[in-house]
Structure 1
Amino acid sequence: MKNYQRNAFVFATIVAIGGLVFGIDAVLISGTTSYITEEFGLTPDMLGNVVSSTLLGVLIALPFVGPMCNSFGRKRVIQMIATLYLISAVGSTFAPGYWTLFIARFIGGLAFSSITLASMYIGEISPPSWRGKLVAMTQINIVIGLTLAYFINDAIFKASVSGTGWAESLGFADHTWRWMLGSEIPAAAIWLILLFFIPESPSWLFYKGREAEARDVLTKLLPDDEIDHHLDEMRESMAENAHDHDILTQFREIFGRRMRLILVIAVTFAIAQQASGINAIMFYATTVVEQLGFGTDAAFAQTVLFGVASLVFTIVALLLVDKLGRRPLIVGGMLWIIASLGVGAYSFSQATYTLPETTVVELAESGTFPQPERLGAIAGVEYHSDVEFKAAIAEVLGEKDARNNQSLLIQKAAQMNAMLIFICMLSFIAAFHFSIGPIMWIVFSEIFPIALRGIAIPLFGFISTFISWSVAKFFPVQLDTLGMASTLLTYAVCVAVGLVILFFSFKETKGLSIEEIQQKLVIKDED
């Protein structure tokens, strides 16, 4: 590896660590849902607010990201974001109540815009032949982070129930969820320190008229004989795509006739990626697995496989994206997603729920279940959906006791092909990370002209995040009112619509420079 290649790799790796912090921050909450629900007395709507508060934060932040990174530079804004991650992690760990936790998580959400900035920055410092791999590093780090978060949650949960002296002295049993959320603090602090060692984006420096500084940075990223050519391409692209750099002009460019095809591609990617329901499955992983009747202990262990599948198939996508191209992975992966969600939805629709009378007796004899005689009214009754069964236990136990004991009762009552559904969930996660998960950000880093990228990437990231927030916010309510079968089917339909649009609109960008991609996708003005 030559020096300029090594530099590009190191700088991209440091910025992509933001994906690691993002993954940890996003998924640690999945292990805490039952704990914070019980401790703070959360309703499904309140739980949805806490889990989705990070996504609400990024919705607020994203409109400001473009102007800020254009005004202050990519590097400085990314440093601000790392600081917000650290503040959020500390605040979440020591939150005394629902609103404090909501606000701390919301602050972390302001930092979630690091994903759009990371893809922008890495796309601007990467040689064309390496761009796909280096931009995908952010997604790799996201899945490493979320995988690590599942392992951390599982380890802390096991420590909390181990009964060992060291675990009890450190408060693992009494403060399980706080240990889970607090594990993000070291990662956020390390990332903030490393960001002081990266250069500013040469594209931003050129955009601000600081060509000499841009050239200095390019000497670290390109062979000497390519620097002038690269500067000429940036100069040509700037002249063609943005005669006026104010924000209103950039928005007019993005929504103008010349960018129509790019607009269709970007909007479809942004909606389909998150409407697949990926964040419902990942953010509520233990809740989803508990719906299969595995129980809480098994749920923590099983969700580790979600992270492993994410990591393995993101790496596979990274290895193939510059060989096979973006389009084959997108089309094949989305078909795979639709099949996985469809089979999972059908299997859930065939499930029944019957609480045996012997189970009620066992619960009474154990002395651990509050007033088990209340379950007598539903013992031996067959329910044909998870919605019916949850409504029945809420009626006999009351909302609070039903929520606190739902996992145990589903474990005792569920009659379904749980292993098939679990495999479908794993398959869905693998397909997502093989296709639209990492590839959307690669495509976003390629299809927009340099002068519009600072506004365009955050804009379409905003659309994606709005869909993601909606999915995460309403998933607990959907689970209670629609059930898993209808929820998964809805996700599958959304992906199918996106697949049809992308199949006819998206053109391959593999191996092309950003300027060549513009020639391929931008509609030329008529003479």
Structure 2
Amino acid sequence: MSTSTIPTDSGPRMKFVFLVTAVAALGGFLAGFDTAAMSGANAFLRERFALSDFMLGWTVSCLIIGCAIGAAFAGALGDRLGRKKVLIGASLLFIAGIAVSALSPSLPLLIVFRMIEGLGLGLTSALCPLYNAEIAPAKYRGRLVAMNQLALVTGIFLGSLLAYGITGLGDELWNQATGWRILLGIGVVPGVLFLLLLFLVPESPRWLIKQGKPEKALPILLKIHGEELARKEVLDIKQSFKQEEGLGHATLKELFASKHRIILVVGVMMAVLQQVTGINAIMYYAPTIFRQAGAGTSGSLTQAIFVGLVNLLFTILSLWLVDKAGRKLLILIGSAFMTVSLTVIGYAFYSGNTSGPLVLAAILVYVAAFAVSLGAVVWVILAEIFPNRIRGLATAVCTMALWAMDFVVSQSFPSLISTAGPAVTFWMFAATSLFTFLFTLGVVPETKGKSLEEIEAMWETHRQDKENKDRLKTSLQKS
């Protein structure tokens, strides 16, 4: 992606911000690349290890257990050690996990090291968007945070191309013996690149100020904003932390306190809904779905490449729209189209009309709608809606919920397809997409163009208004 995606009216400052956030976003690339590699390899793993539907689901989704655990610890580790140090550690876990899993002589060893790889991905999935939100100016924060999703879908697309190329190097037996190892193991390359580039980026200025080191944060903010705005930003951030002096690190008890309840509900629900609408079932099992629809092995991998390309193009569109149209409108439009397209896919399988282009076209519409809405925008929302004090911990909890739902969907999808059938499975995803539309319409606020401190003040005003209304209601009932 070129720097033209980011407006250049701020001159060299935006170039600095873009380069820093692009490095952090590479964490998303690692997750996307693994998704595509496993999607291309799972049919060969099924034959190589004689896997049942359940065990195939477990082999694919065991990584997600590691992701959930990594995400659960990301907030506490990021708050204590800093975002940068934890990301460096996460890249090392990813490299070790993917290298050994690709060389594994047995299924148990493969599963263990996929979980270790997942630990690294879980840490990066929670901290990379958070880091970018804390670096980015408010005006461009949406698209800069969404770069994490762009990197993820770029990884999916490039991984799909590699899967097509690598599996074409030999026959079925070669792929069962060797091809899947190359598919998984090649992920070491972007992992090492991510590790090396992390040494070139600064620490989060908000984290530095929280640690009582504003003198280290100021030079970073000067590169982002220029002198006048940087000094104002330091004062605003210090003010937002002022009330928590002497309180130590945020705790789970504090996170689940009543004053944060509505924010946490919004964050957790958006994280869960991103997954239960079915995207990773399609991304992990796209070749399997297309084979169910009548395509051969080569044709199913080709169609999976189309899915990855559409995902990439519409994620780029989302980066352009998220700071223009806003977060809420994109999710409403996207979830509406997702509901319709998933209903059509279900009907195609129900009626047996899968031999033509209908299933592919409906899946491409679904992926496009997801990419422009839930795919990128949810990560933006999770990175920006929480107050400074609890942001690291809250983002970790939401990301853990996201990975947990990813696990449930990925683990259950092969069995659902075999038992309930494709039609019912896709209609279930359509129902959750409809719920996403209704929940967003009624509960999710718009945060476009607001600084992180302004968003925090917005929630505080909302809380005070609610308390005043509750007191008035109680008073009226007593009278």
Structures share fold, TM-score greater than 0.5 = yes
Q: Is the 8 A contact 1:159 1:173 kept in 2?
A: no
* Partner in structure 1 of residue 42 of structure 2: 33
- In the alignment, the residues of structure 1 paired with residue 375 and residue 45 of structure 2 have an alpha-carbon distance, to the nearest angstrom, of 29
Using the TM superposition, name which of 47-56 and 489-498 deviates more: 489-498
Alignment counterpart, residue 82 of structure 2, candidates 73, 79, 82: 73
Alignment of 1:351-366 (within 5 A): 351=352
* Partner in structure 2 of residue 412 of structure 1: none
* Partner in structure 1 of residue 395 of structure 2: 457
* Partner in structure 2 of residue 359 of structure 1: none
CA shift in 2, pair 1:36/1:517, >3 Å: same
Measure how far apart 1:172 and its partner are.
6.3
1:298-343 deviation line (CA, Å, top 9, x unaligned):
1111100010010010011111111111111010000011111011
Alignment counterpart, residue 217 of structure 1, candidates 216, 220, 223: 220
CA shift in 2, pair 1:418/1:106, >3 Å: farther
1:351-376 deviation line (CA, Å, top 9, x unaligned):
1xxxxxxxxxxxxxxxxxxxxxxxxx
Tell me, yes or no, if structure 1 residue 503 matches structure 2 residue 441. yes
**Which secondary structure state, in structure 1, belongs to the residue aligned with residue 225 of structure 2?**
coil
Tell me, yes or no, if structure 1 residue 239 matches structure 2 residue 242. yes
For 2:184, give the aligned amino acid. Answer: L
For 1:51, give the aligned amino acid. Answer: V
1:250-305 deviation line (CA, Å, top 9, x unaligned):
x3443233223312321220111100111111011111111101111111111000
Q: Is the 8 A contact 1:119 1:445 kept in 2?
A: yes
For 2:170, give the aligned amino acid. Answer: S
Measure how far apart 1:173 and its partner are.
7.8
Measure how far apart 1:125 and its partner are.
0.7
* Partner in structure 2 of residue 480 of structure 1: 418
Measure how far apart 1:97 and its partner are.
1.5
- In the alignment, the residues of structure 1 paired with residue 222 and residue 160 of structure 2 have an alpha-carbon distance, to the nearest angstrom, of 41
Measure how far apart 1:240 and its partner are.
4.5
Tell me, yes or no, if structure 1 residue 339 matches structure 2 residue 277. no
What runs of 5+ residues in structure 2 fail to find an aligned partner? 1-7, 469-479
* Partner in structure 2 of residue 316 of structure 1: 317
Alignment of 1:69-468 (within 5 A): 69-113=78-122, 114-161=124-171, 174-240=177-243, 244-248=247-251, 251-351=252-352, 416-468=354-406
1:184-206 deviation line (CA, Å, top 9, x unaligned):
11111111111111111111111
Measure how far apart 1:174 and its partner are.
4.3
Measure how far apart 1:3 and its partner are.
2.7
Alignment counterpart, residue 56 of structure 2, candidates 35, 47, 51: 47
- In the alignment, the residues of structure 1 paired with residue 338 and residue 229 of structure 2 have an alpha-carbon distance, to the nearest angstrom, of 41
- In the alignment, the residues of structure 2 paired with residue 41 and residue 131 of structure 1 have an alpha-carbon distance, to the nearest angstrom, of 47
TM-score of the superposition, structure 2-length normalised?
0.91
- In the alignment, the residues of structure 2 paired with residue 445 and residue 521 of structure 1 have an alpha-carbon distance, to the nearest angstrom, of 15
Q: Is the 8 A contact 2:48 2:177 kept in 1?
A: no
What runs of 5+ residues in structure 1 fail to find an aligned partner? 163-167, 352-414
1:52-81 deviation line (CA, Å, top 9, x unaligned):
011111112222111111111000000011
- In the alignment, the residues of structure 2 paired with residue 243 and residue 344 of structure 1 have an alpha-carbon distance, to the nearest angstrom, of 56
* Partner in structure 2 of residue 357 of structure 1: none
CA shift in 2, pair 1:495/1:241, >3 Å: farther
* Partner in structure 2 of residue 493 of structure 1: 431
CA shift in 2, pair 1:242/1:258, >3 Å: farther
**Which secondary structure state, in structure 1, belongs to the residue aligned with residue 308 of structure 2?**
helix
Higher Cα Rg: structure 1 or 2? Answer: 1
Measure how far apart 1:418 and its partner are.
4.0
CA shift in 2, pair 1:3/1:416, >3 Å: closer
Q: Number of residue pairs matched?
A: 455
Measure how far apart 1:242 and its partner are.
7.4
Measure how far apart 1:448 and its partner are.
0.7
Q: Is the 8 A contact 1:125 1:202 kept in 2?
A: yes
For 1:311, give the aligned amino acid. Answer: L
**Which secondary structure state, in structure 2, belongs to the residue aligned with residue 96 of structure 1?**
coil
- In the alignment, the residues of structure 1 paired with residue 405 and residue 246 of structure 2 have an alpha-carbon distance, to the nearest angstrom, of 33
- In the alignment, the residues of structure 2 paired with residue 521 and residue 440 of structure 1 have an alpha-carbon distance, to the nearest angstrom, of 18
Q: Is the 8 A contact 2:345 2:426 kept in 1?
A: yes
Measure how far apart 1:239 and its partner are.
2.8
**Which secondary structure state, in structure 1, belongs to the residue aligned with residue 169 of structure 2?**
helix
Q: Is the 8 A contact 1:264 1:505 kept in 2?
A: no
Q: Is the 8 A contact 2:386 2:456 kept in 1?
A: yes
**Which secondary structure state, in structure 2, belongs to the residue aligned with residue 435 of structure 1?**
helix
Measure how far apart 1:244 and its partner are.
2.0
Tell me, yes or no, if structure 1 residue 469 matches structure 2 residue 407. yes
Measure how far apart 1:479 and its partner are.
1.3
For 1:509, give the aligned amino acid. Answer: T
- In the alignment, the residues of structure 2 paired with residue 69 and residue 246 of structure 1 have an alpha-carbon distance, to the nearest angstrom, of 11
**Which secondary structure state, in structure 1, belongs to the residue aligned with residue 58 of structure 2?**
helix
Measure how far apart 1:146 and its partner are.
0.3
- In the alignment, the residues of structure 1 paired with residue 350 and residue 241 of structure 2 have an alpha-carbon distance, to the nearest angstrom, of 54
Measure how far apart 1:521 and its partner are.
2.7
**Which secondary structure state, in structure 2, belongs to the residue aligned with residue 42 of structure 1?**
coil
- In the alignment, the residues of structure 2 paired with residue 342 and residue 524 of structure 1 have an alpha-carbon distance, to the nearest angstrom, of 38
For 2:225, give the aligned amino acid. Answer: L
Q: Is the 8 A contact 1:347 1:417 kept in 2?
A: no
**Which secondary structure state, in structure 2, belongs to the residue aligned with residue 219 of structure 1?**
helix
- In the alignment, the residues of structure 2 paired with residue 154 and residue 135 of structure 1 have an alpha-carbon distance, to the nearest angstrom, of 30
For 1:341, give the aligned amino acid. Answer: L
* Partner in structure 2 of residue 367 of structure 1: none
